[in-house]
Chains A and B, each alone.
Chain A
Amino acid sequence: MKQFLIFVKKEWLHIWRDKRTLFILIWMPVIQILLYGFALTNEVKNSRIVIFDQAKDEASRSISNEISASRYFSLYKTVNSYDEIEATFRQGKIRLAVVFPRGFRNDLLHTNHAQVQLIADSSDPNTASMLSNYAAAIINDYQQSLNDNQQLPYTIKIQVRMLYNPELKGAYNFVPGVMALVLMLVCTMMTAIAIVKEKEIGTMEVILVSPLKPFRIIIAKTVPYLMVSMLNIISIMLISVFALDVPITGSVWLLMAESILFTITSLSVGILISNTAKTQQTAMFTAMMSLFLPTLLFSGFLFPVENMPIPLQVISNVVPSRWYFIIVKAVMIKGLGFAAIWKETLILVGMTATLLGISIYKFKIRL
């Protein structure tokens, strides 16, 4: 046990001496989460629009006001011709144009056939459909407010409730995503590099000839990174609660416990990589290719897994971060307890046991 602690202490010294890496390890999650939180958001806020109001009546003006006042849109300018709309689109100044035809209110009240045209820049299809939906919703609201006064006999009122995330904040999705990414990066890449580094400089040989058990060596090398990741988890949670207003709805302790589990999964992947990689660069690239990209693509963090072709969905099942992502969302955002995530937890435990088993077995053989 004393030898073990000596090893852990030595490992700490490595991390401590390498201030630049330490700095990156500690600040990367903070910066990443702030970036995703404030810069790289896919929420729509204050998108610039133009309004071409040929009617200039009470109805068109009310709708225009509603749209301009909403937090999704800001009125870039009012225009007077289709050509002008086209020109502004071409300049890339706006995302959406709203066109009211002549006699809009008259059509609305008397012919029951009023039209509004929404023209969206769908070179970015998601944003385009989001914007047109928002605008359509505002127009519908206006229509319903008219109906309230008139009491039409048959109407369906749609009530939408956005569960767990009523304000549709992107942060609710990316905080769990960034947690998965960061933990994996720190644990997998750093352990893989740390072990391979000892092979490169030749100290691994000497340690292996020493009475230290290989299993202990591996564990001792991972402990410091486990601690750094704990620090990362805490800092991510603090930022998400206090800076991004994403509350931890469920149990903090459950979240912590699951995160530790996922950390151990990532550590075992790191050890596995270090068994095969001969140089630090190889270790880094393998970690990147085998975990970073799959996490980005297959965890459901950026792209919903349900929409992927079946083969890709099958592949996504073996990506550990996919399950961790589900767990974090369930506990942190939905406030669910262990009963809701025991299956995912079991999968992670299974993966960890398998990976750890393989890497320790292989580690022994290589010596």
Chain B
Amino acid sequence: METEKVIRAKELTKKFGAFTAVDNISFEVAKGEIFGFLGANGAGKTTAMRMLCGLSLPTSGTASVAGFDVYKESEAIKKNIGYMSQKFSLYEDLTVTENISFYAGIYGLNDRQIKEKTSQLLAQLHLVGEEKSLVRSLPLGWKQKLAFSIAIVHDPAIVFLDEPTGGVDPIARREFWSMIYAASARGITIFVTTHYMDEAEYCDRVSIMVDGRIDALDSPMNLMKEFEVNSMDDVFLQLARNAQRIEG
């Protein structure tokens, strides 16, 4: 079965002086897949993700994102990806609509598209009537959903989610994941880093980084089988126990 690959990384390495932050990682992500990118703090997740987003150049190895080369075509990559950071990255002093049209605008959507998207998002998120409220006044769960919707407002091929569920309650997290599934069903590839192992189980496949390497990569089911444990938590702990780097 040959599915379309939207992320291909081969022997990707990033060194900062003598320190190897990302050590020779290779993986592929298929279109529409929900790909969990796990690892302890300092394992190299963020650095790897930055390379894929076109924010920093790899030291060696090759990678392509949405069909574009990370060395030469970072501008094209940026147009085709969405990004949501752990801080949700909304402007608290702007209204819901202003946030939507700002982010849609910098991705080059025209006025008509922005208008359409705005009313569509407001309806989807049940925010009709709140469009003129400042984002500051929204509950955290709503902010998170709004941030995710904004990250995919330009229908990117891939959306990178950097620990997107920090600080929200379990119900909001569940609702959030149903949005992720909906986006994946529309063909948007989801690349998500997380600390919550129960969330890892929602992913199609997960990779676990230890000391800059990918030490495990498979579906959660297969990983649990391979490590002979009952939860992703235990898989993670077994791998992380061997880690040399300890960092906050």
Contacts and interface: CB of A to CB of B under 8 A. Distances in A.
User: Is the pairing of A and B real?
Assistant: yes
Contacts of A6: 101-102, 105-106
Contact of A208 (B55, B75, B90, B98): B55
Report whether over half of chain A's contact residues are helix, strand or loop; otherwise say mixed. Answer: helix
Interface stretch (B76-84, B176-184, B233-241): B76-84
Given A211-B78, A212-B106, A13 B93 contact: yes
A209 B105 contact: no
B59 to A, nearest CB: 15
Nearest to A18: B93
Given A6-B102, A211-B78, A212-B106, A205 B83 contact: yes
Nearest to B92: A201
Nearest to A202: B87
B53 A209 contact: yes
A203 interface: yes
A215 B87 CA distance: 24
A7 interface: yes
A210 B85 contact: no
B106 A209 contact: no
B89 A206 contact: yes
A9 B81 CA distance: 24
A343 interface: no
B91 to A, nearest CB: 6
B91 A367 contact: no
A353 interface: no
A10 B90 CA distance: 12
Contacts of B81: 209
B90 A203 contact: yes
Contacts of B196: none
Contacts of B106: 3, 6-7, 207, 210-212
Nearest to A16: B93
A2 interface: yes
B86 interface: yes
Interface of A: 2-3, 6-7, 9-10, 13-14, 17-18, 201-203, 205-212, 367
28 contacts: A2-B105, A3-B105, A3-B108, A6-B101, A7-B102, A13-B93, A13-B98, A14-B91, A14-B94, A17-B134, A18-B93, A201-B89, A201-B92, A202-B89, A203-B89, A203-B90, A205-B83, A206-B85, A209-B53, A209-B81, A209-B160, A210-B78, A210-B83, A210-B103, A210-B107, A211-B78, A211-B106, A367-B56
Pick the 10 closest A-B CB pairs, nearest first: A202-B87, A6-B105, A209-B83, A206-B89, A17-B93, A211-B78, A202-B89, A203-B89, A202-B85, A205-B85
